[in-house]
């Protein structure tokens, strides 16, 4: 996935950074652009001399286990291999593609969740004369200047893209499937980053108490906003509160939308909000409630699907394990290949940042493959995975069926800390 031109992360630099590599600005956290985040990652790799161990521009074609040697054979296509990897000499290279096979003791799957786009089908789209694209192909609002644009989906990318396009489009609308994510602006009214609230003090509240506190907090903010002189910012924040209160969600029960972009577009530039299904005609979307929106472009911010084609031929069970990370032990270890195959970055915090969770996952993985920690039996891992899955689905019942791997940031990190024996206190989901 390529980022669009004005990409800004929705988690602050403080919450996104690795634990052992600071940008030196913890006292003034900000939101990195895509370019700034890449610069940070490069500085991390240079600090730890990682680049000599990375092969860029390679395509993994297949992964299979050799039953004779108990090694994992990974077939790749690409340029020169990095140093230090063992070659499988028995393989006869195809002269057309020149594939290379390497052997490994364990496989860490770190492909991320934004690789294969989930493109919906709309009733009547065959007759639609306009342009339909997925958000992965969106680069800048310029190409939509003066157009009538419908954005489908109100996740974080959808919210940002709606805000951008509303500034240049003739008209714009956003269509939400059911409930939107619980909206949290990137910054609070006083200018501080909002995700400083993702802390142990707040998220150590009992589940029901935390949900109640979130509701009361939102209600009190709206009361105060109504008493203040009205500015563009206060109008947007007030609308954010109204939308959150209307659907009765909180940061404890709903997947987050950590920016208020589509709300700004609604309040400041008249973007329409639709919540119904629609069918397309030549020049418009007709919604189930009888309303219509004339459009000549549709951008589908409808997310991505987990897919692992390199497992499909030899190990379809591992491909399935990656599609639903909840079936893996602690959403990392494939129970069919314990300690040999792990999935990283597929546990997604409702609020909070993915990189710190992947760091915790990687630390646990390293201790397992280094024989510092022994995993439970397969039967026990399956049982614990089922218990964890039921707990997460109860906690995030509004989203658990569609956002696979959804977790509470603090609780999940504490769970992994317990596995490593470095937790300060036991973790309780309920």
pLDDT tens, residue by residue, 119-154: 999 999 999 999 999 999 999 999 999 999 999 998
CA distance 329 to 93: 37
CA torsion sign for 72, 73, 75, 80 is positive
Q: Are residues 430 and 338 in the same domain?
A: yes
How many domains does the chain fold into?
Answer: 2
Contact between 364 and 330 (Cβ < 8 Å): yes
Q: Are residues 285 and 317 in the same domain?
A: no
pLDDT score for 430: 45
Q: Are residues 251 and 392 in the same domain?
A: no
Q: Are residues 206 and 324 in the same domain?
A: no
Q: Are residues 239 and 384 in the same domain?
A: no
Confidence band, pLDDT 50/70/90 cuts, at residue 425 = low
Q: Are residues 259 and 165 in the same domain?
A: yes
Q: Which of 304, 328, 361 is the last residue of a domain?
A: 304
Q: Which of 304, 339, 372 is the last residue of a domain?
A: 304
Coil, strand, or helix at residue 383?
helix
Least confident window among 93-97, 189-193, 195-199: 93-97
CA distance 208 to 398: 15
Instruction: Report the CATH number at residue 183.
Output: 3.50.50.60
Q: Is position 366 within any domain?
A: yes
Q: Are residues 254 and 318 in the same domain?
A: no
CA distance 164 to 7: 11
Residue 348's DSSP bridge partners are 406
Contact between 161 and 283 (Cβ < 8 Å): no
Output the pTM of the full model. 0.87
Q: Are residues 342 and 408 in the same domain?
A: yes
pLDDT score for 187: 84
343-365: pLDDT as tens digits: 999 999 988 899 999 999 999 99
291-338: pLDDT as tens digits: 999 999 999 999 898 999 999 999 999 999 999 999 999 999 999 998
Instruction: List the domain range (segments joined by +) for residue 368.
Output: 309-430
18-62: pLDDT as tens digits: 999 998 888 889 999 999 999 999 999 999 999 999 888 788 999
Coil, strand, or helix at residue 254?
coil
Contact between 233 and 189 (Cβ < 8 Å): yes
Q: Is position 346 within any domain?
A: yes
Q: Is position 29 within any domain?
A: no
DSSP annotation of 375 reads P
């Amino acid at each position: 996935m390529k980022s669009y031109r004005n990409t800004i992360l929705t988690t602050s630099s403080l919450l996104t950074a690795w634990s052992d590599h600071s940008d030196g600005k913890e006292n003034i956290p900000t939101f990195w652009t895509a370019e700034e985040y890449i610069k940070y990652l490069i500085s991390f790799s240079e600090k730890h001399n990682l680049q000599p161990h990375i092969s860029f521009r390679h395509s993994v074609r297949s992964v299979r286990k050799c039953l004779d040697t108990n090694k994992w054979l990974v077939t790749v296509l690409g340029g020169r291999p990095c140093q230090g990897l063992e070659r499988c000499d028995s393989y006869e290279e195809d002269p057309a593609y020149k594939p290379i096979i390497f052997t490994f003791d364990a496989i860490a799957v770190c492909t991320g969740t934004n690789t294969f786009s989930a493109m919906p089908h709309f009733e009547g789209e065959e007759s639609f004369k306009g342009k339909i694209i997925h958000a992965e192909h969106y680069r800048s609002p310029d190409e939509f200047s003066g157009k009538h644009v419908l954005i489908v989906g109100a996740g974080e990318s959808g919210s940002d893209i709606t805000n951008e396009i509303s500034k240049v489009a003739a008209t714009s609308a956003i269509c939400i499937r059911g409930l939107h994510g619980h909206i949290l602006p990137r910054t609070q009214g006083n200018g501080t980053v909002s995700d400083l609230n993702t802390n142990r003090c707040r998220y150590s509240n009992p589940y029901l108490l935390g949900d109640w506190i979130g509701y009361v907090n939102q209600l009190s903010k709206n009361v105060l906003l109504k008493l203040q002189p009205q500015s563009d910012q206060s109008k947007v924040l007030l609308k954010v509160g109204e939308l959150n209160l209307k659907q009765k969600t909180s940061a404890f029960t709903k997947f987050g939308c950590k920016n208020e972009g589509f709300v700004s577009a609604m309040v400041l530039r008249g973007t329409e909000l639709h919540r119904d299904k629609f069918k397309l005609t030549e020049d418009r979307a007709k919604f189930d409630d009888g309303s219509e929106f004339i459009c000549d472009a549709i951008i589908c911010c409808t997310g991505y699907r987990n897919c692992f084609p390199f497992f499909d031929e030899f190990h379809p069970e591992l491909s399935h394990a990656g599609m639903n990370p909840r079936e893996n032990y602690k959403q990392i270890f494939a129970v069919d290949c314990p300690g040999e195959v792990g999935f990283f970055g597929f546990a997604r915090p409702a609020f909070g940042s993915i990189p710190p969770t992947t760091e915790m996952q990687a630390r646990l993985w390293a201790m397992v493959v280094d024989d510092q920690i022994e995993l439970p039996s397969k039967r026990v891992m399956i049982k614990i995975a089922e218990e964890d899955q039921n707990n997460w689905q109860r906690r995030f019942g509004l989203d658990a069926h569609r956002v696979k791997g959804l977790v509470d940031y603090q609780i999940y990190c504490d769970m992994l800390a317990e596995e490593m024996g470095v937790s300060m206190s036991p973790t309780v989901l309920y």
